[in-house]
Structure 1
Amino acid sequence: SYPYHCQCHGAKDWCIITPMLTIKCAACKRKLWKYEKIGQGKVLRCYKDRIARFYDAQIEDGQAVCACGKRIGVDEGDHIKMIASAFTYSGTKRNG
């Protein structure tokens, strides 16, 4: 899986390449979402405006839940407070 998300802005000769993480369910290994992580710290929360794409995750009753039923985090409004043991990730963090 390619760890970058391409954001084209209509120009044919350039693109901005943004480092992205792929967040996956620890239980079933499904892809949950693509996330732009800024800084080298732990993934403690995922800000919704930095989630580029949802895959097999939903927000239900204030919880971020995988399609397998595993609870991944708690919806806190502008971000999802992550449950550390519920997910894994791969990809590249952006230095902040």
Structure 2
Amino acid sequence: MLTIKCADCKTKIMKYKKIGRGKVLRCYRDRITRLYDYKVEGDELKCGNCGNVIGDIEKKQVDMNQHSFTYSGHKEKK
């Protein structure tokens, strides 16, 4: 499980179940286990505290902006 936080204000955005190695480039909706503080404006996912754009919302996934979030936790092996 990864905890994804805003890079600017360190507010928790979501808990995500990451499977496999590599960067967090997109978050699939069925693997997001909990949403904390967020806003949706149009097709953008933003931090609920400072308004930083975290990613772009698609049908089955959220395409993440690499420099707008940080994460902590452990990735699961395939």
Please indicate the TM-score interval, normalised by the length of the shorter structure.
over 0.9
- The Cα shift of 1:23 comes to 0.2
SS of 1:41's equivalent?
coil
Q: For 1:87 and 1:26, locate their aligned partners in 2 and report how far apart those are by CA, in whole Å.
A: 4
Within 1, Cα distance between the matches of 2:60 and 2:40? Answer: 13
Deviation at 1:93, TM superposition (A): 0.3
Separation in 1, partners of 2:29, 2:46:
15
Counterpart Cα distance in 2 of 1:31 and 1:38: 20
RMSD: 0.7
**Structure 2 residues without counterparts, runs of 5 or longer:** none
Structure 1's consecutive aligned runs of 4 or more residues displaced over 2 angstroms after TM superposition are: none
Q: Name 1:84's counterpart in structure 2.
A: 66
Q: Taking structure 2 as the reference length, what is the TM-score of the superposition?
A: 0.95
Query: TM-score by structure 1 length?
Result: 0.78
What is the aligned-residue identity percentage?
A: 55
The match for 1:69 is 51
Helix, strand or coil at the partner of 2:70 = strand
- Look up the equivalent residue of 1:33 and give its one-letter code: M
1:1-35: CA deviation from partner (whole Å, max 9, x where unpaired): xxxxxxxxxxxxxxxxxxx0000000000000000
Following the alignment from structure 1 to structure 2, what is the Cα–Cα distance between the partners of residues 73 and 85? 10
Q: Which has the larger radius of gyration?
A: 1
